[in-house]
Chains A and B, each alone.
Chain A
């Protein structure tokens, strides 16, 4: 290479750097796993010898353990000093993006709202933390009061009569519904009812859990114009085999189906059960009640609508509320109050049994209860309004971006909306996934594209919630303008993004998941040469 060539190449690199630079650069450590960093012999803790008093009483402590409880060889734990371990986790946290580090409004249908710190402190207090799930009822009256209080709020918000906190998340709540529907028909000798009706704009856990509970699934698709299912389509699905309908409200597209009450009437008329999925309750809190529309059961996600933190498989908490007729089918125990004392009742005649351990995810119930009490009924109503207003501001702004369209444009959207980059994709070749990777270069959370089935091409589904500021929305929209302009002028920048994030593209090799080393043991087995 001549000097001139080198200079040209250098200029080329500089221009390229200028083009992809966004002023943001994620922290990136070349961090190895603790196993790889391990130095045999180094340690972070020296355990004191067994105290003489104990030795006098027990003798050789190890020998006192039953043989089956003793390991033949020490566990393969990494060996490192305390500061090394601390650094490792600090670095990992620096490479993590979350609500507390930046603008997370992209993650639609997740309802990424702020989790107030004071509620975390309440849940972390010894009064909650030190409880044992097997303590006698009379010693946990305070916790039971909190659970009963939250039960009352959810009954009121859902127009229902009883609640279980057993499910650990939304899908688990839907599964609880499916199991109760099955038990309900079984109790009536209606075992031939083996079909659950659902729709393509419901959360995928609705068909998935129905299927897991042994039902066949009939899926309806939204009308191209109205975004609703329509009476005719539902009638084509209903038969004497109908066990029930499991559907999401509002839909995953942000459209609220105006005919739900009529669907419920038709399903009831055919002998079926109506289950509403209100995991995304945020846009309709205090505005509609599932029970008033004819639903027999409804599930909420405390970790979305009710502010308890979530993400990264953190502790979620689903809550299922039912009408009186389904109370006897609930998982046990349920919390009861006789006017003076709270108790746990595990004696429901048709109970589907346990879907989780003990009383449910108690710390989340504490946080959610603290949140609703701090908000009050008026506060919940206001939060819903803000969430919807924020989303509609976002819609107006995002539709000004070249190549961005919205599904069901003639319908008003509630807390979220499904946008489409199909036009941008057709005109530039940049897909929504490319676009999303480029968004990571702007220091904002990448967006949720869509649930399956993907009936909107090149989908984009953000959800601002009430805790997002106008500045957050504007930042998100500005990044969209920037990337759209790049797509139309220099698509390669977008197609090869991200350039400023921690990792390059994720590996989506769904066919070979068994080859992915999720544990150190598997990694060693699959990488014998290190």
Chain B
């Protein structure tokens, strides 16, 4: 019964929301979900091409006998979602067999970009735009994301990999929450559910108003280098993704103020800074570390490495050589401390998205100078150790073992680190 009341309540709330971009449309009685399938995502994987970016790679993949998988992955999510939606709206087994798309208004792009699988799963989707069947590209993904955002989608569900996530991000930035259905070869970004079924659960939790939203990394690696054996992941930005709050509900029960977790972590880091006020504080990339700068009233670059001293920004967006030069110049008596966070979903501490923090920089600061900060949700979602891949086996071994992670103003955890 709680699902019924929760769902109805949530939809009333959304009905009362201000006019959506794209306007004109009457207040929707149903919840608006956008769907994008990148039909070519992942086809390079099974045939060993380590990615599917670029028309040439796609052609090679097909030549090697690749079969598109993204549609099937999306269909799995939609089928699960249809059941969950019916359960949400009605709550009995008999109701579940009737009109399963009742609670959701789904919009998508034509054919293999979503309309086919949506219909197959029993939805009657609104179909926007047009495509050239069999020859879709990243530009189609970007156009679809823009169109669905304009249509008023509350949530974008997309099936693909890192490349697809980048395209969605390029089109809509952080303006609409997303749930990625993992269908690509490369999944370095944090915006993907663990599997298609979990993706459906996240959407259902979001619709029922039970999910929280958090910033997740959009990352991608250079496929050419990857094929040559080198991983060089770049952080492109952040999109918001729902997360299942139920998993940590008890821990949060004493904190009914809502999503203040990042701020809580920031306060924990500030406590460390207060204990070592004379040190030079190097702030790594990411929203978690940015939250620290926000509390200090400092304009920090989101994706860059910044340098603080006595509460003031000394240098912004510094690269490795600038950092090393600075560390070499600073007085021996003044310590250098480094605040870093963890890449969500992946668990990388060093070597992904923060290559400025090279082995030489890490050695110059030392393990004792490290301050690692992350929300407990992020750590729990990893389900495994933190990872380091600095490209220097000796440095990786030096960092391995156990490390203290700040998870709140008065909370720390000890987490394992492996190469």
A residues neighboring B (CB under 8 Å): 12-13, 16, 19-20, 195, 200, 204, 207-208, 211, 215-221, 224, 232-237, 426, 429, 451-455, 490, 492-493, 495-496, 504-511, 513-514
Contact = CB atoms under 8 A, between A and B. Distances in A.
B50 to A, nearest CB: 27
Interface of B: 1-3, 5-6, 80, 83-84, 87, 91-94, 96, 195, 197, 246-254, 256, 258, 376, 380, 384, 401-404, 410-416
Contacts, number: 107
29 contacts: A16-B93, A16-B94, A200-B413, A208-B254, A211-B410, A216-B412, A217-B410, A217-B412, A218-B413, A218-B414, A221-B416, A224-B384, A237-B404, A429-B80, A429-B83, A451-B250, A452-B248, A453-B380, A454-B380, A455-B380, A492-B83, A496-B87, A496-B91, A496-B96, A507-B1, A507-B2, A507-B5, A508-B246, A509-B6
Contact of A511 (B87, B94, B256, B412): B256
B256 A513 contact: yes
Contacts of A219: 411-414
B178 to A, nearest CB: 22
Given A426-B197, A453-B380, A506-B2, A221 B253 contact: no
Contact of A510 (B93, B197, B249): B249
Contacts of B249: 452, 508, 510
A505 B246 CA distance: 15
Contacts of B416: 221, 233
Nearest to B271: A216
B339 to A, nearest CB: 17
Contacts of B80: 429
B404 A218 contact: yes
A511 B413 contact: no
A491 to B, nearest CB: 8
Contacts of A220: 413-414
A200 B250 CA distance: 13
B410 A492 contact: no
B248 A454 contact: yes
B248 A505 contact: no
Contacts of A511: 256, 258
Given A220-B413, A221-B414, A510-B256, A236 B380 contact: no
A236 B403 contact: yes
Contacts of A492: 83, 87, 93, 96
A505 B6 CA distance: 12
Contacts of A234: 414
Contacts of A16: 93-94
Contacts of A13: 94
A216 B411 contact: yes
Contacts of B87: 492, 495-496
A490 B93 CA distance: 9
B245 to A, nearest CB: 8
A259 B246 CA distance: 33
B388 to A, nearest CB: 15
Contacts of A221: 413-416
Contacts of B6: 509
A204 B376 CA distance: 15
Nearest to B255: A510
Contacts of A508: 2, 246, 249
A232 B402 contact: yes
A20 B94 CA distance: 12
